A and B are shown apart, each in its own frame.
Chain A
Amino acid sequence: MNKRWIDTNTFHYSEFSDLHRLVDEKQRKNLTISLCLPTLNEEKTIAKEILIMKSELMTRYPILDEIVVVDSGSTDKTREIARAYGADVYEASEIFPHLEKFIGKGENLWKALHITKGDIIVYLDADIKNIHHRFAYALLGPLILFDHIKYVKAFYDRPIAIGKSKIRPTGGGRVTELVVRPLFSLFFPDLAQIIQPLSGEYAGYREIFEQIPFPIGYGVETSMILDIYEKWGLDVIAQVDLDRRIHRNRDTKALGRMAFAILQTFIERKIKLGLVNYKEKLFDEMIQFNLVKGEYKPDIYKIEDHERPPIIEIPEYCNKFKRG
């Protein structure tokens, strides 16, 4: 394991709190930066994220050039509220309308590459209760200040919200510790140094994101790390401590489905890289059981492993961004 990495490429958000410095460097390097918020029914939190980012990182410090919401077809007021607070709002299904339609976070992140204009793209989950502008500027700090860093991942304490108005101080990260870290330790020990590989907050240069495939579902974070590591190595990756992130608590079954999708992506990658010789087709259904009136009844979820190709392979994208 490359033990040096965790020392040299791990930062704390406070190292980037001098926002004047970030603005100066951004302008000197002539960079544009887009913030993308993928959404599905996030009416409770979306306004706060847009407001705080707009106030602190657009109005007061010109760090972000645009805030873009890519929505998976919310049935609540997410899109309406996001528009009211000044974000550019797109429905994922309207971007590349001629392509087969999928619903998933990865789909939104991939399509965001086409409709954003930034050299750097910051992706933040839209359900962060304790949103603060450090979530964006801390991810941008290493990318703006250090030329060799191309992709930055967040990590934090993870208190969880319990009930309507209480929070529990510790918890969360179960899929990371029970699934992802053991897998990384077994196959890619270097990557086990990434404290929260599944965090939904990361930023990177367009030139990186456009060259990697995006699974449409939960596997997107894992695949992103694996692909960037395989293509460019560990040193282009950095991680930043954002201190604290309050998130919704998911039940064990939901986490089980998440783990399924991550394993699915991981194994597909291993096969693709020739690291595992597995001839059979993997099944794509997660089978869980519920006890109903004394009987165990199966709940079967189909979790397909659709994946978008590197967007640089899409002609409209190449035309728009003058690639190839």
Chain B
Amino acid sequence: MAANTFTEIPNQENLINLKQSWLNAYLAWQMVAMFDIGMAEEITLRNFMNVYPLDAEGMTTTLLVGGYDLTSVNKQDEQGFPALDYLLHGLANSEAEIITFYTDEFNGPKYKIFLTDLVERMRSLTYMVLIDWKERYREEFIERDGSGATESVNSMVNAYIYYFEKFLRSGKVGIPAGIFSNSPLTDRVEARYRGNVSKELLTTALHATQNFFNGLHFDGGASGMSLQGWIDHLEETRDTNDLDSLINNQFALIHAQVVNLNDDLGVQVTIDYRGMLETYDLMQENIIFMKVDMLQLFDIKVDYVDADGD
């Protein structure tokens, strides 16, 4: 593993390799972050992988004091991709200076151990989810094919929309742009220490959600059943418009807007937060198509209580 190579020989070449591995993993994470189901939901994987902003100060204390428990809820903002981001890009301004943290005679071993522990934890958590999916949950997921609250279609669609709303729209765009807070918050940008990849992370996550909507497979051009197909099927017998094209068109508008943003969304927020705001508004329109129109068409509820039809 790139992390092991780096901790064994902390030099510039190994640091660069590790950074690349980190970015690759971070981009891959964007493809799966929406799947808050099964074991991932049970262990709240998302809360241990990608909570930002990072509590850098708290994390540094944790690392230096040692004897930490990364499974603790209090440590969720001291680990995962944001913590690695800080350890690989945020410790100092230059790579040479960053490396000195790991070669330091006194504290170096502590940084190395913490870095290794973080990577190992991320690896073991994701591995646990993957194994569970393959050996148990996939079968259960397929078996739960009804229309009730706990059935797969229901929990997956709710998880999907929740992800799009809370993590994509609000987390990656709205909160940094200051939409909920009166002023831009540059420290709330994803991968803020690396900086110039936050747009790429956003774009990847957008593609992932759109591909999920259209049933495009992760590894290529093949496609299967999807929300888009379901909409098509239901609209055959109704006189509603083409909701699936509305949603896909909206995705296209969002992409077209995101292209104009700075590679570093932190910079974008500082120079012109309106670009972010427009992105947010376009995403909000798709929330309405999905949460209001699509859920009504699917008859999927967000809450399950006694009702007599409003």
Asked if chains A and B come from one complex, the reply is no
B: residues with CB less than 8 A from A are none
A: residues with CB less than 8 A from B are none
